[in-house]
Amino acid sequence: MEIDVVIATPAPLDVDSKYVAPKHLLDSLVRPKSNLALFRQHRRQKRGLFIPLGVIWDDSDGEAGMDGCVRRFTVIQQLSMLHAVTITIQEVLP
């Protein structure tokens, strides 16, 4: 997969925040885990139950011979008066 995330914010983010901000977004796109794994994740987060969408099978790194499915992950920042997030996911065939 190639994933592009565009984050529109009124104030600029630093580089660390720019790449950390979409972490929960990527977590929400992976395939659902077992019920036990979902329960453990719920206990760790101490918030409402988190149900992954299953759009991608794995959010681990696929570059440099690693076995994950994310071949490219790009985060672009746009200054805007309104907050918005746009995500584009493209399947890349070997």
The length of the chain is 94
pLDDT in tens, 17-28: 888 888 878 878
Positive or negative, the CA dihedral 75, 81, 84, 89 is negative
Ranges of each domain in the chain: 23-92
Tokens encoding 52: 């992954």
pLDDT in tens, 38-93: 777 777 766 666 677 778 777 777 666 667 788 888 999 999 999 999 999 898 77
